């Protein structure tokens, strides 16, 4: 059971990281609107603060879930090895591991499902005019690649029961923070910014619950927005590099809009040609078409 829950956590992190990779790569390519300081230059969508607010926290959430799943997967492997070797395990520790893993599975899957849906809506809204060449039923195919990720992640929410436990957000924060100590100085700065971004966004989204648990000073609550804006600006220059660090191949992403080479529109036109073919399904010419013509002649 422990192994299955930790695999669910890792699967949630993987699905969310794929979704945010597609969203960030396309947002970094897509141009929309004019720059006030340079009217002849268009603005990358990812440079808009509203877009950063939707996308960049998903990167932080992916790293947080990955870090947590790695820690508990290691514990699960050690516990399994001890059982196989006939060694005794502290019952209290094992019971706590079961409780924490069950709640973490729910929290991680909730965060993942919500994040994938945010990325899906954003990418679908920004889809270029040429995507209309593709039929609507092909939305879940290679040109977008996000709807199936949402369906994959949603199954984890109710697996083994559904019970949202807010206290498990502490575990995500704790393990993410502990992971920072093992990083090299070259990567620690940006990862610390991601950690802070994760904490601030989680605090903002569930502020009422946190206030019920902890007496947050009014000065802290008032400074959350300013801190969030500063963190978004700090993470933005590294957004593409951060999603590249997930190391998802184009094949695993299955998305024309999330190609690593950045040639989105060329790839989109190539994929649209697959749907432009007017190939009849087997049996249509021999059976269905004569029936349709017979019906039309009677009309």
CB 56 within 8 A of CB 236: yes
Share of the chain above pLDDT 90, in %: 25
Q: Could you tell me which of 23, 1, 158, 144 has the C-alpha nearest to residue 83?
A: 1
pLDDT grade for 130, boundaries at 50, 70 and 90: very low
Q: What is the pLDDT of residue 274?
A: 67
The mean pLDDT value of the chain amounts to 80
Q: Which residues, including other chains, have CB under 8 Å from residue 259's CB and lie 6 or more apart?
A: 25, 250, 267
pLDDT at 175 over 50: yes
pLDDT grade for 136, boundaries at 50, 70 and 90: very low
Q: What is the pLDDT of residue 81?
A: 77
pLDDT at 299 over 70: no
Q: Give, in order, the Cα–Cα distances in Å from 102 to each of 4, 98, 159, 296.
A: 10, 6, 10, 60
Q: What is the pLDDT of residue 169?
A: 63
pLDDT at 246 over 90: yes
Q: What is the pLDDT of residue 262?
A: 84
Tell me how crowded residue 182 is: count the other CB atoms within 10 A of its CB: 8
DSSP 232-293: HHHHGGGHHHHHHTT---HHHHT-GGG-TT--HHHHHHHHHHHHH--PPPTTIIIIIHHHHH
Q: What is the pLDDT of residue 257?
A: 84
pLDDT grade for 140, boundaries at 50, 70 and 90: very low
Q: Which residue has the higher pLDDT, 128 or 209?
A: 209
CB 26 within 8 A of CB 34: no
pLDDT grade for 170, boundaries at 50, 70 and 90: low
Domains defined along the chain, listed by start: 2-276 (1.20.140.10)
pLDDT at 165 over 60: no
- Span 129-142, mean pLDDT? 47
Q: What is the pLDDT of residue 225?
A: 86
DSSP 70-116: HHHHHHHHHHHHHHHTT----HHHHHHHHHHHHHHHHHHHHHHHHHH
To the nearest 10°, the Cα dihedral for 205, 211, 214, 220? Answer: 70
**Nearest 5°: CA angle at 291, between 285 and 295?**
140
What's the CA gap between 76 and 1, in Å, rounded? 10
Q: Could you tell me which of 255, 257, 252 has the C-alpha nearest to residue 14?
A: 252
pLDDT grade for 234, boundaries at 50, 70 and 90: very high
- Span 231-236, mean pLDDT? 94
What digits encode the pLDDT tens for the residues 1-33? 777 877 888 889 999 999 999 999 999 998 888
pLDDT at 176 over 80: yes
What's the CA gap between 264 and 180, in Å, rounded? 34
Q: Could you tell me which of 84, 105, 79, 107 has the C-alpha nearest to residue 94?
A: 79
pLDDT at 242 over 80: yes
Q: What is the pLDDT of residue 267?
A: 82
What's the CA gap between 143 and 269, in Å, rounded? 10
Q: What is the pLDDT of residue 137?
A: 45
Cα distance between the two ends of the chain: 63
What digits encode the pLDDT tens for the residues 39-89? 778 888 999 999 999 999 999 999 999 988 888 877 777 777 777 777 666
Tell me how crowded residue 34 is: count the other CB atoms within 10 A of its CB: 12
- DSSP 8-state symbol, 163: -
CB 150 within 8 A of CB 117: yes
Pick the range with the lowest mean pLDDT from 91-95, 106-110, 121-125, 253-257: 91-95
């Amino acid at each position: 059971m422990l192994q299955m829950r930790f695999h669910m956590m890792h699967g949630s992190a993987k699905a969310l990281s794929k979704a945010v990779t597609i969203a960030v790569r396309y947002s970094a390519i897509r141009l929309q609107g004019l720059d006030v300081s340079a009217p002849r230059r268009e603005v990358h969508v990812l440079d808009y603060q509203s877009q950063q607010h939707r996308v960049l926290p998903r990167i932080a959430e992916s790293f947080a879930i990955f870090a947590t799943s790695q820690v508990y997967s290691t514990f699960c492997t050690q516990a399994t090895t001890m059982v196989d070797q006939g060694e005794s395990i502290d019952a209290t520790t094992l019971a706590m591991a079961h409780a924490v893993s069950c709640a973490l599975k729910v929290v991680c899957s909730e965060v993942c499902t919500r994040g994938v849906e945010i990325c899906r809506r954003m990418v679908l809204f920004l889809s270029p005019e040429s995507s209309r060449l593709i039929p609507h039923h092909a939305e879940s195919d290679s040109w977008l690649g996000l709807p199936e990720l949402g369906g994959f992640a949603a199954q984890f929410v109710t697996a083994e029961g559904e019970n949202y436990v807010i206290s498990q957000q502490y575990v995500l924060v704790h393990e993410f923070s502990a992971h920072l100590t093992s990083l090299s100085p070259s990567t620690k700065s940006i990862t610390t910014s991601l950690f802070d971004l994760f904490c601030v966004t989680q605090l903002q989204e569930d502020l009422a619950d946190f206030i019920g648990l902890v007496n947050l000073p009014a000065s802290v609550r008032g400074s959350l927005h300013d801190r969030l804006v500063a963190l978004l600006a700090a993470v933005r220059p590294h957004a593409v590099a951060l999603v590249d660090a997930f190391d998802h191949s184009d094949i695993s992403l299955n998305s024309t809009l999330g190609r690593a080479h950045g040639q989105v529109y060329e790839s989109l036109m190539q994929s649209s040609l697959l749907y432009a073919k007017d190939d009849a399904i087997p049996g249509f010419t021999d059976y269905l078409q004569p029936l349709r013509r017979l019906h039309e002649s009677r009309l």
